[in-house]
Amino acid sequence: MKIGVIGGGQLGRMLALAGTPLGMKFVFLDPAQDACAAALGEHIHADYHDHEHLRQLADQVDMVTFEFESVPADTVAFLSQFVPVYPCAESLRIARDRLLEKNLFRSLDIPVAPFAAIDSQVELEQAVVSIGLPAVLKTRTLGYDGKGQKVLREASDVSDAYAELGSVPCILEDFVEFSGEVSLIAARGRDGACNFYPLVHNTHRDGVLRLSIASAQHPLQKLAEQYTAGVLEHLDYVGVLAFEFFEVDGGLTANEIAPRVHNSGHWTIEAAECSQFENHLRAITGLPLGSTEKLGESAMVNFIGSVPDIAGLAAIDDCHVHAYGKAFKEGRKVGHATVRSTSAQAVQRQLGEIRALMAADK
């Protein structure tokens, strides 16, 4: 089985690491010369709009999948003429546009913070009156890791905010006073079977995920599964999908979905029976889904900018290091580590050791 992947970053790389033992081969299409997944398969070095190279990809693979959601619609439409594409074009269309996404949640009775579509500075000023401050202005498309958004706290923040985000279509969202952020990673097979991983508690800084801790029997697990199942069924989704929520007053408010394997699911490589990467590949190739059971306690830490001393990390008990082979760049995710243990206290101790190495690396 040969899988085409649009995008050749670390998610593509980890897909290939999971699929190779299943006998799968991988071809990545990515415009970056130094795409880090290229070490694990063939690399078609081309732009996402380059039909000649997209055709070359489609002709040599059994199916195509994606490692990011901002894939141009025409890329998906073009590929779909020649080869099965998972997840489907509609899932990508919704997930790359924050307005369509929020409208979908609302139509499925999934709670969302008050929001409004913004297409001009005048509309922004009107929406601020009805939604109030603080609020978050976000570009409808191409936002990730906190990019393409601005928190508006006082009137002076509003005056040139629309232009600051590039005068592109946006949404304004009420600022959610959450007690925590959680995500649910789900896999849905071609036959409609769904498996859900345990809810993960996520800590972000500057809009970027830093730490994920998988919860044992989280009281909101069933509710998160119910909301996620609604989205999966509605989209007739095939593959892994991540749903990010805010915890508010003992309930869940939807933030966003990612129609792909997700950073907050990296812990599943070592700390779940079957990883999110393997389950995505199982789902799209029509294999039975693997178990999403958690193996003990675990936590995942992202390395931003640089990876700390590998020998030091390797010396920590049950610490699993992933260095993506990406060049240093401020703010870039270049690796992660997952620690695993039988007790939550031991995981905290392991995390402390990782943090000490990260501090020494600065």
User: Shortest approach of ligand AMP to residue 312 CB, angstroms?
Assistant: 29
User: Shortest approach of ligand AMP to residue 208 CB, angstroms?
Assistant: 8
Residue 136 as a binder of ligand AMP (CB under 6 A): the answer is yes
Residue 165 as a binder of ligand AMP (CB under 6 A): the answer is no
Look at strands 239-248 and 115-118 and give their pairing.
unpaired
Measured CA to CA, the distance from residue 325 to residue 2 in angstroms comes to 23
Residue 166 DSSP code: T
User: Shortest approach of ligand AMP to residue 98 CB, angstroms?
Assistant: 7
Residue 234 as a binder of ligand AMP (CB under 6 A): the answer is no
Of the chain, the end-to-end C-alpha distance in Å amounts to 43
Taking CB positions, which residue lies at the least distance from ligand AMP? Answer: 176
Residue 253 as a binder of ligand AMP (CB under 6 A): the answer is no
Residue with tokens 């670390």: 10
60, HSE (Cβ side, Cα atoms, 13 Å): 16
- Choose, by CB under 6 A, the member of 31, 72, 146, 169 that binds ligand AMP: 146
Residue 176 as a binder of ligand AMP (CB under 6 A): the answer is yes
Measured CA to CA, the distance from residue 90 to residue 14 in angstroms comes to 25
Residue 281 as a binder of ligand AMP (CB under 6 A): the answer is no
Measured CA to CA, the distance from residue 327 to residue 76 in angstroms comes to 29
User: Shortest approach of ligand AMP to residue 244 CB, angstroms?
Assistant: 6
User: Shortest approach of ligand AMP to residue 285 CB, angstroms?
Assistant: 29
Under 8 Å CB-to-CB from 67, ≥6 apart: which residues? 5, 6, 7, 8, 9, 11, 12, 15, 37, 260, 261
Residue 113 as a binder of ligand AMP (CB under 6 A): the answer is yes
Measured CA to CA, the distance from residue 304 to residue 26 in angstroms comes to 27
67/256 with CB nearer ligand AMP: 256
Stretch touching ligand AMP by CB under 6 A, among 84-92, 170-178, 219-227, 343-351: 170-178
